[in-house]
Amino acid sequence: MHGLIRSKVLDTADIVRDACYQQLSSTLEPAVIKKRGNPTLKGLHCVVSQGLLSIAAVTLLFPFGCTNPIAESHIEGNVPKGKAFEEYLRRDLTSYFCTTKDCRVEYEFLRDGPTQTGIAYPKYYLWVRCFTGGKLTAEGAVRVAAVDQSAFDVTHFLSAKDIVTSPDEAAGVFPAALLDKIGNKARHK
């Protein structure tokens, strides 16, 4: 479906580009076309129209997931599938935060889906609360990396207290788009 939409938009862009070239070539002297010199008003309108179409094409394609195949392959190769995702994430967060059997971890995603940058492991951003004996013992923002469909490595944990007292520290770890959300959670807003 998405490929068909992309194809139609790109076909339309090619048609407009060809029409613009034909229009320019009919309104300009051959020497001007060769030098790509001053287009007439008619030709300029066509160039502007083509530019607007290009912007429209990008705007239309963005929601349909123009994706990087390398990034997709890193996500596909590292993020656990189905029920294993929840099972491994809970296991690895519990292993990181808990030292006793009467400990449990609650978490919520700060962003839907993984964040993939370059060839690094896909990252997830979470707000975590750890309870030991029913008492809150740790709370804060966590960045985890999905590794080989078998584990989540906690790469960073900043406690709510650290986030409130040193907000710049959070800015060095978490995406800018999440900083307000993280700050509000740390201040219990």
Instruction: Please report, for the domain that includes residue 107, its CATH number.
Output: 3.10.450
Choice between 13 and 135, residue whose per-residue pLDDT is larger: 135
> Do 59 and 134 share a domain, yes or no?
no
Q: Count of domains in the chain?
A: 2
> Do 126 and 99 share a domain, yes or no?
yes
User: 3-state SS string over the chain?
Assistant: CHHHHHHHHHHHHHHHHHHHHHHHHHHCCHHHHHHCCCCCHHHHHHHHHHHHHHHHHHHHHHHHCCCCHHHHHHHHHHCCCCHHHHHHHHHHHHHHHCCCCCEEEEEEECCCCCECCCCCCCEEEEEEEEEECCEEEEEEEEEEEEECCCEEEEEEEEEHHHHHHCHHHHHCCCCHHHHHHHHHHHCCC
> Do 88 and 42 share a domain, yes or no?
no
The parent domain of residue 154 ranges over 74-186
Predicted structure pTM score: 0.64
> Do 169 and 85 share a domain, yes or no?
yes
183: pLDDT confidence band, cut at 50, 70 and 90? very high
3: pLDDT confidence band, cut at 50, 70 and 90? very low
> Do 99 and 35 share a domain, yes or no?
no
Choice between 169 and 41, residue whose per-residue pLDDT is larger: 169
111: pLDDT confidence band, cut at 50, 70 and 90? very high
Whole-number pLDDT of residue 93 = 97
